[in-house]
């Protein structure tokens, strides 16, 4: 799977899609939408990173239903009315040579919350929040969150249809990559972890049962997502309770071992890349945050399951990102905070790594030396 000459700026082939480089804009909530609609903020925010040279740009977690939003300001794709705003963004990303990805998700018990720049609180209905908070089991995430309503079998099936319908809309909007968000304590993670899932039906208890909701949904998504295009899943590799020395009273939660058990099932279901993150489902876990602190898990998944992986988490320097690719720890690096600080990080990284990359023709005079304009985005499927 690994070739040492493949660095950060080598192309990445995923099914019939070719990314120009291995740099992806990680999904980052902006809490700036009204009724789930993408507006000028999202256009400029995502478009700037395309001008900056990222090979793949993923939207923030985009909810498949109104009550699945983390906050009232989240993006949505639960109606056809959401398509035009996203399509406008996709078209612009393609013009800059970037591939466009959408992350579909459902917040579950972490829904209807305030944005992070405000005090943590549940948003009431009179301020645009909602009371229909859903989860695997009636266990609140924290004292600030609502106790969720435990999803019935019929509600689970309806949500799977919501993911299917949102996938079809993502196709209409022109996206090249679809990622299902099963990490960070949101709905799928809530089903996976025994700390948030105490059900006694076919969706709770054993590993097979806790993984059932996600795997059934992946089947619905893959059924309507074009076979020529790649499907990603973001997971939290661990709840971080197996590493702090003191087991949680209820056990270790979701573990690396269970993640490694899940990945082959996702691979068999048609998933092409695992976006490996950690944590988010336990309010008081101890996470040893530091440079590239999650990369070890991406490497473990990649080597054990022989599937492509994305590394995310405190990746900041070009040398660090390049080394992750060259050493075979991951196939893609997803940057978040660093791309907020510098939308042109890929262009600057290329200069630092002495790689020849074309700046947008409008910016060439300001770049070091005169470079030809970047080519428009082309996937091999459009060449047939």
What burial class does residue 284 get, using C-beta atoms within 10 Å of its C-beta: 0-12 exposed, 13-18 middle, 19+ buried?
Answer: exposed
Question: What does the alpha-carbon distance between residue 175 and residue 229 come to, in Å, rounded to a whole number?
Answer: 9
The verdict on whether 363 is a catalytic residue reads: no
What burial class does residue 118 get, using C-beta atoms within 10 Å of its C-beta: 0-12 exposed, 13-18 middle, 19+ buried?
Answer: exposed
Helix (H, G, I), strand (E, B) or coil at 284: coil
Question: What does the alpha-carbon distance between residue 94 and residue 300 come to, in Å, rounded to a whole number?
Answer: 33
What is the DSSP code string of 142-193? STTSPPPEEPPHHHHHHHHHHHHHHHHHHHHHT-SEEEEEE-TTSHHHHHH-
Of 186, 293, 344, 363, which is the active-site residue?
Answer: 186
Question: What does the alpha-carbon distance between residue 273 and residue 310 come to, in Å, rounded to a whole number?
Answer: 7
Helix (DSSP H) and strand (DSSP E) numbers for the chain: 10, 12
Looking at the DSSP bridge assignments, the partners of residue 34 are 37
Judge contact between 211 and 193, C-beta under 8 A: no
* Tokens encoding 277: 């993150």
Looking at the DSSP bridge assignments, the partners of residue 13 are 18
* Tokens encoding 251: 């056990």
Residue in 14, 28, 46, 81 with CA at minimum distance from that of residue 229: 14
Exposure string over 216-243, b if 16+ CB within 10 A, otherwise e = bbbebbbeebbeebbbbbbbbbbbbbbe
Question: What does the alpha-carbon distance between residue 157 and residue 179 come to, in Å, rounded to a whole number?
Answer: 20
Radius of gyration of the chain (CA): 20
| Residues annotated as catalytic (active site), given as ranges | 186
């Amino acid at each position: 799977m690994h070739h040492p000459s493949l660095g950060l700026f080598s192309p990445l082939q995923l099914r019939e899609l070719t990314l120009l480089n291995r740099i992806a804009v990680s999904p980052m909530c902006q809490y700036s939408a009204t009724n789930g609609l993408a507006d000028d903020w999202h256009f400029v925010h995502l478009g700037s990173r395309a001008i900056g040279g990222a090979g793949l740009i993923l939207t923030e977690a985009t909810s498949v239903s109104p009550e699945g939003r983390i906050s009232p300001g989240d993006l949505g794709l639960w109606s056809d009315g959401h398509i035009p705003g996203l399509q406008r963004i996709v078209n612009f990303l393609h013009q800059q040579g970037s591939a466009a990805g959408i992350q579909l998700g459902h917040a579950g018990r972490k829904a209807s919350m305030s944005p992070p720049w405000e005090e943590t609180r549940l948003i009431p209905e009179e301020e645009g929040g909602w009371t229909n908070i859903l989860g695997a089991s009636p266990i609140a995430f924290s004292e600030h969150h609502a106790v969720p309503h435990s999803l019935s079998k019929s509600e689970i099936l309806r949500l799977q249809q919501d993911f299917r319908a949102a996938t079809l809309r993502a196709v209409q909007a022109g996206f090249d990559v679809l990622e299902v968000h099963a990490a960070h304590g949101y709905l799928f993670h809530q089903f996976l972890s025994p700390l948030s899932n105490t059900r006694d039906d076919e969706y709770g208890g054993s590993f097979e049962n806790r993984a059932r909701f996600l795997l059934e949904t992946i089947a619905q998504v893959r059924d309507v997502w074009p076979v020529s295009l790649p499907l990603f899943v973001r997971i939290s590799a661990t709840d971080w309770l197996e590493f702090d020395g003191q087991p949680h009273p209820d056990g270790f939660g979701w573990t690396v071992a269970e993640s490694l058990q899940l990945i082959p099932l996702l691979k068999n279901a048609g998933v092409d890349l695992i976006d490996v993150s950690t944590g988010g489902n336990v309010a008081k876990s101890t996470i040893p945050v530091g440079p590239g602190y999650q990369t070890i898990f991406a490497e473990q998944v990649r080597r054990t399951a022989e599937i492509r992986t994305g590394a995310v988490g405190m990746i900041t320097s070009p040398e660090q990102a390049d080394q992750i690719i060259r050493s075979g720890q991951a196939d893609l690096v997803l940057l978040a905070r660093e791309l907020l600080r510098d939308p042109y990080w890929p262009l600057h990284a290329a200069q630092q790594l002495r790689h020849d990359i074309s700046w947008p023709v409008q910016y060439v005079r300001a770049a070091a030396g005169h470079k030809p304009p970047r080519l428009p985005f082309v996937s091999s499927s459009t060449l047939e």
